[in-house]
Amino acid sequence: MKSSLLDSNFKTVFLFLILAFPASFYAQDAPNETPLPKAKTGAFWENVSFGGSLGLSISNDYTDILVAPSAIYNFNDYFAFGAGLQYSNLKQKDYYSSNVYGGSLIGIYNPIEAVQLSLEVEEVNVNSKYFDFGNDYKKSFWNTGLFIGAGYRQDNVTIGGRVNLLFDEDKDVYGSAFMPFVRVYL
């Protein structure tokens, strides 16, 4: 008797699945329908993405902290433009300390879904202090960077590299013209 009841329930569930799934497949196919128009309220903010960088590196005698929020406006699937702020604090005990702050403008082009190209102008103020046998040396200057970049993009995340076209080893805040990056916009 138990087997007969189990058989009956199985047949009912099987029949339901056979009848339900084809109906759901056909329900998804509606080629002649036009989509409803999007509401126009808040359209600007629907195209804005926020992102940035946070960094922290600590060792026995070394600390490096970075905070760099940014936002971009997505004109369409291919072009975006935005701005960002940057602050970093770098200290090496008994040798060096530096505060760097400023801003940047960025243009982004996605020629295909997986590739992102960028052009970025950055202007930062650098305030450094060096300690050498009891003497303090201070150095303050503005640094301008013009970066071209390329990366592999997957959804909101891009991993790539950028090159500073204005890099000058004697005057630059960065140690190299090339910088890898991870860019995230939500």
When pLDDT is cut at 50, 70 and 90, the band that residue 76 belongs to is: very high
Kindly state the tokens that stand for 90. 């770098």
**Cβ(113)–Cβ(153) under 8 Å?**
yes
Q: Which domains does the chain have, with CATH numbers?
A: 50-184 (2.40.160)
The rounded distance, in Å, linking the Cα atoms of 115 and 140 is 38
Task: Return the pLDDT at 48.
Answer: 95
- Distance CA(85)–CA(106), nearest Å, equals 11
CA 129 to chain centre: 31
State the pLDDT confidence band at 158, using cuts at 50, 70 and 90: very high
Length of the chain measured in residues:
186
Mean pLDDT of 122-135: 86
Residue 43: DSSP 8-state: H
Tokens for 9, please give them: 């329930």
Claim: this prediction has a pTM higher than 0.75: no
Mean pLDDT computed over every residue of the chain: 81
Per the structure block, which two tokens stand in for 172? 């630059």
Q: How much of the chain, in percent, has pLDDT values that exceed 90? A: 47
Cα angle for residues 36, 41, 46 (degrees, 5° grid): 85
